Each structure stands twice: as structure tokens, then as C-alpha cells.
A and B are shown apart, each in its own frame.
Chain A
Amino acid sequence: MSDQLADSAERLFAANTGKAVVRAAEDGTFPQALWDAVTEAGFTAALLPEHAGGYGATITEAMALLQIAAAHAAPIPLAETMLAGWLLAQAGLAVPKGVLTLAPVRLRDALSLRRAGDCWRLTGIASRIPWARDAAAIVVLAERPDGPAIALLHPDGVTLDHGRNLAGEPRDTITNDAILADDAVAPAPFGPAQLRAAGAAVRTVQIAGALSRALSLSVQYAQIRVQFGRPIGKFQAIQQNLAILAGQAAAAIAAADMAADALAHGLDPLLVGAAKARAGEAASIAAGLAHQAHGAIGFTQEYELHFATRRLWSWRDEFGNEAEWNGVVGRAVLTAGPDGLWPALTAA
């Protein structure tokens, strides 16, 4: 991504996020000013082809924006809106303005579409949908008798139960019994496995952002907190721990690169799985080390470390954790066999 785009994104999020905004969002106030700024800057449309409202950004650039947003703990459904729009555009459906989200997100949730006259009836429960309560439309993947379909659902058609993840982000359960017009439904560009992979890919990118924040907070703190007559960052034990943390941040950067690559080239499960699993593991190690470096102050609500670490703990579990995705990767590896292993890795 051009330095210019990165700088302007940094400035936008620095100006419109911050502790007060994130806290207010957790308390139930949707950050409209931030959302408007992000929309006006075109970030929400970054994954869209130009004919659908995008501006010619590459997937790598779009993911870089998402990573910056995550580093600022921007409490907005940017990832979801980007991805939902991307799916709609691929299915040839018009992309509405405003907050978009996707369903289902849990492995065992399934929605179905049945013919109802010349309309479609959507039924099923989809739990932990990001920002369903704030969505202008929910993009659902549902099973039709002839295969997976994508549909645009308006929130009036659903019963909503509010929830939040560990990071305080809205995760609402929707119970569906809605009638959708024919033109709101289209054959899906891909099935549930790829939807899960796409979600895993964006969460990987977000983890990289939050992890970089946890690292920089920890390094800063170690440079200013003085004990025994010197900044704690002068002690080897602290230095070694922060070096380990930096290693995990680096691994997460690689995972984010891999995730963007996967999104751009057909969502290869080996590549997505390796990315999400590695990012999840990095998140786990890093969150612990970041708190360790901060001592008690890092454990308070007042200090801002938890905005990053609670996101790490939430996002590592969403769209598949390390056990799930390492299993996918491992089965691919075992299937490739001893002679196919290296070629499979270089082709990923």
C-alpha cells in the first residue's frame, strides 16, 4: 500500500477512535462519526470492484486498511461490511449503503431458503452475528434445494437477541423467519466452507493489527516505567519477553500477508488455515506477554491495553480456532503425502 494511503488511514483512525469512542461503543453507542469518516474515505468499499462502488484498491490494500483499523481498536464492523459487500458483488447483487454484516458465522448454524410462492422463505438461527443490531442489511448464506444461495436480509425480518464478545463487540443472535423477494436472492459465489475461510482471513488481518498495538504499548511502557532506579525495559528478563512478543507480532504480519493472498486467489484452505492458526497462536502468546510486561496497570479498565488484548482473545476464536484450522492444514499435509508435502507448501 502506498505510504500516503497508510498515513491517511492512520490519521483518520487516530482522530476518530481513542478510549472514549471505544468505551462508548461498548456501552451501546454506535460510533457514528467514526463510521461516517470511514465510509466517506471509501474504506468500506475497498473490496468492491469499481463497477460496484469500489475505487480500484487491491485486496492487499484493503486488508492493510483493516489492519490499521484493528490496531486502533476501531469498534466498527469494517471487516464485515467489506466482506459482505465483496460477496454481494461476486453474486451480482447490488451492494447497499450502510452497515453490512454476514451470517451464519458459527460452524453448526445453518440457514435455509424454501420457495414460498414467487418469493423465498428464510428460516434458521444464526448466532453471534457481528453488529446485527446496527446493520442496514445482513448478507446471509443459506442452503436452497439446488445449492448455496446468498440473500440480502433486512433487519425487520429477524428477531434479535443482543450479545457481545469478550472485546465488547456486538455479537447478536438472529432468529429468522423472513420472506425475501426473488431479486434479493442469488446463487452463492461459494459455499459455507469458503465463507468461513473468508471470515478467518479477515480476522487474521485484524489480529495482526491488534497484536502490533499490544507490542507497541508494551515497548512504550517498558521504556517509561521505572523500577529499581531504571526503566524496566533495561532488564534482560523484560527484554527477552518483549523480543518473544515481537516474534509473534512478526508471525502475525506474515499470517496477515498470507490471508490477503488467500483472499485474492480463491481462499485455499491450506493457506487460510495456516494463516488463521498461526495468527491465533501468536495472539495467545502475545496477549499474555503484553500483560506480563505491564504489571497491574495493564489489568485495569482505565489503561488501554485491554482494548487490544480482549480483541486478540475474541478474534482468535472467531471463524475457527487453532485446533480447527491446524486440523485442516494437517489433513491437507497428510493427504499430500511425504513427496507432495514440499510442492504443496510452495504452491500455497
Chain B
Amino acid sequence: MQALNFTTPPPFDAGAEALRQDVREFLAVEMHDRTPHQRASSWSGNDTGFSRKMGERGWIGMAWPKRYGGHERTALERYVVLEEMLAAGAPVGHHWVADRQSGPSILRHGTEAQRQQILPRIAAGECSFCIGMSEPDSGSDLAAARTRAQRVQGGWLVRGTKVWTSGAHRADYMILFCRTGAKTDPKSGGDRHAGASQFLVDMNLARGGGMTVRPIIDMRGAHHFNEVAIEDLLLPDDALLGQEGDGWNQVTAELAFERSGPDRFLSAFTLLVETVRALGPAAPERAAVALGRLTSHILALRCLSRSVAGMLQSGEDPALQAALVKDLGNTLEQETVEVVRLLVDVEPSEEDDGPPLAAVLAHLVMTAPSFSLRGGTREIMRGIIARGLGLR
């Protein structure tokens, strides 16, 4: 077994620290009237104005080539912006998926025209994406997807259903994963990953024209998820992203991109902040020990996450390391909720007239189960880790 390799993260240089101060100054102004409850939404919070402002400052598409609207900054500099945004609970949701994975996917697999058409708009904070992967009968088992795109005159005719599609009701684009070729049976020696492709779907055209988006309300009463019914949606030829039939490889790369980012362990940070506020400096020893433990975990995760960012910057493919960070990160986020609730004398409640901590706690209690499901379930992450260890 190879030793787990996490190269020591490079230190933040003066440029990165100056950037950090810039971001903090920006946030001090933009976030000053955001309530803790609003901040608790973390990267699920949507604000088109905020995203545009970030785009104006060059904080989206930071590592992309300038000719596509990017800024050719390093992965570590990008990391500074991401973690400052997440720690503040900034509403980065509008551009988050696009910046994190859709844009990099287009950069890697897209045609020159697709890159020119879309990437500058993402970098400007004016283009949002949703992820068309999961279906009613295929979640973790993505290869079981049945949505199909059939070659027709002038393009592709798509039929099928996607589900749990966050933001499909307002996204500008979807990257759709579907079948374009024969699905070969592994029992007869075929590859069940073959015959899938990805498409760039213009959602502003698709919604109401072959695609019906129905909200799925979550148990908190919030609308993020959707069911997307696709019935004879015609996509133009140039909607194909990458190679026909290469969808599986493309999607695997896309999924790996930000498994290791700070969004994988800072989702509950607002809760930690509000708990520190509520307890105050004279809190009892047991509270100090419990908060110290959560902090120790955050610091260790930040070190690992930065290490992976550095490895990605060096052109490595740290799939094992990224899965490890996500697994540890989700666990910490969920533990934060369970630890903190026993330190404070507050009933979780999102009722308007309650104390901020009550609302933040209620929000986190009711969203925490999703942390180890979204972006790859805990069980799948551990399977990926086991594979990386050489066990499967």
C-alpha cells in the first residue's frame, strides 16, 4: 500500500494575504446587515447581485485563462477567496456550482465556441449552472441513468427525468448526463460506463419547451431541489460537451474537482461562531473542551484541504485525498450540530422572533443529514477511499 500522500500545503504568501484582506474588507461592507440565520445557508444562499459584485472583482473563474474571462490566479489564491466567503456565510450559491465544477468541465472538455460563449459569463457572476445527474432510479449508481439523447436531424432529442436537481428552476445552464449509445451488459463482458455523454442545456430555452421543472420542497420547507421532466427536448448539435460516449470519464473528473474544497467542512461554521457568541469568554470548561475539539478538526481539515488544492495546482489527480477530505469534512459538519446543541440553552427554532442561535441551530439540524449525501454519499466516498487503498 502506498503511503497516503498529502504534500505539505504551501504557505500563504504576501499576495495571498493581501487578497485575504481585500476579501474581508469587501465582506465587511456587503455582509454587515446579514443575519446569522441568513449566513447559516452558507453556499446554498442565492444572490445574483452578490455574485455579480464578486465577478466584478475577479473572484470567480480565478484560475481560468484570461482569454475566457478568467484571471490566471493560483489554486491557493482561489482557496483564500473561497474560505473567506464560506466562513462569513456569504451568499455565493448563484455562481458556486458553475465556478466549482461546470466551468472547469467546459474548460477541459468544451469546444472553443462553448468556452467563449459561457466561461466569461460565469466569471462575470452572470451565469448559473445546475447538475443534471441524479434520476429517480439512479443516484449513487450514476451509470444506471436512463435519460436518453437520440441522434436526430440537426441535433439530439432528449427524453427522461432528472431529480434532486438543485437550482434547476432558475439556472441558466444544465450539464446533462445521459445515454447516447448502447449500454453494454457487464455480465457479457461489456462496460456499463460506456455509451453516456454530457450536454450543455440552455435552461432558459428548455424550461417550458420540452422541459418541465417541478419544485421538490425539502423538510425545512425550502425550495432547492427539483424534478426535471424532459419530454422531446431538442438540443442543437453544438450542445454536446466533449466526446460522444465519453460521459462517464468526463463526469468522474467533474465530481473529483471540488470534493476537497472548504465547502466540504465549513458548512456549519456559522453555527460555531454563534455558539461562541452565545457562550461568551467565561463559558465552562466542558464547553471550552468541546469547542476546542471542533476547532482542532477544522484546522486539520483546512491543512488537508489546502494540501489537495496545492496538489491540484501541480497537475496531480488526488482522487483518494479529495474523498478523504470530504468524508472527514461531512462528519465534522454533522458532529458540530450534535456537539453544540448540548452546550447551549436554546431550543432550535426558525421562528422570526427567536434568538439568532436558535434559528441557526434549527437550520443546521434540518440540513445536516444532507451533508453526507450531496456530492457523493459517505458510503461511496469510503468505497473510493477503499479503492485508493488497494482493497477493491
Please report A residues at the B interface, Cβ cutoff 8 Å. Answer: 60, 212, 215-216, 219-220, 222-223, 233-234, 236, 238-240, 242-244, 246-247, 249-251, 253-255, 257-258, 270-271, 273-275, 277-278, 281, 322-323, 325-338, 341-342, 345-346, 348
Contact = CB atoms under 8 A, between A and B. Distances in A.
B301 A254 contact: yes
Given A274-B300, A327-B289, A234 B276 contact: no
B292 A328 contact: yes
22 contacts: A219-B391, A233-B392, A243-B381, A243-B382, A243-B385, A251-B301, A251-B328, A253-B304, A254-B300, A257-B6, A257-B307, A258-B299, A273-B292, A273-B296, A274-B300, A277-B293, A326-B290, A331-B292, A333-B291, A334-B287, A334-B291, A342-B87
B8 A257 contact: yes
Contacts of A330: 287-293, 295
Nearest to B298: A345
Contacts of A273: 292, 296
Contacts of B389: 219, 242-243, 246
A247 B391 contact: no
A274 B296 contact: yes
Q: Which of B288, B291, B300 is packed against the most chain A CB atoms within 10 Å?
A: B300
Contacts of A337: 276-277, 281
Nearest to B297: A278
B295 A333 contact: yes
Contacts of B297: 251, 278
Contacts of A255: 300
Contacts of A247: 324, 327-328, 385
B377 to A, nearest CB: 12
Contacts of A254: 6, 299-301, 303-304, 307
B273 interface: yes
Contacts of A326: 288-290, 292-293, 296
B331 to A, nearest CB: 8
B276 A341 contact: yes
A1 to B, nearest CB: 9
Nearest to B87: A342
B304 A327 contact: no
A239 B277 contact: no
A261 B183 CA distance: 52
B381 to A, nearest CB: 8
Contact of B9 (A240, A257, A323): A257
B1 interface: yes
B20 interface: yes
Contacts of A338: 273-274, 276-277
A61 B112 CA distance: 45
Contacts of B87: 342
B390 interface: yes
Nearest to B12: A346
Contact of A219 (B1, B276, B301, B325): B1
- For A212, A325, A327, which residue has the most chain B Cβ atoms within 10 angstroms? A327
Nearest to A1: B8
Contacts of B95: none
A239 B382 contact: yes
Contact of A335 (B272, B281, B300): B281
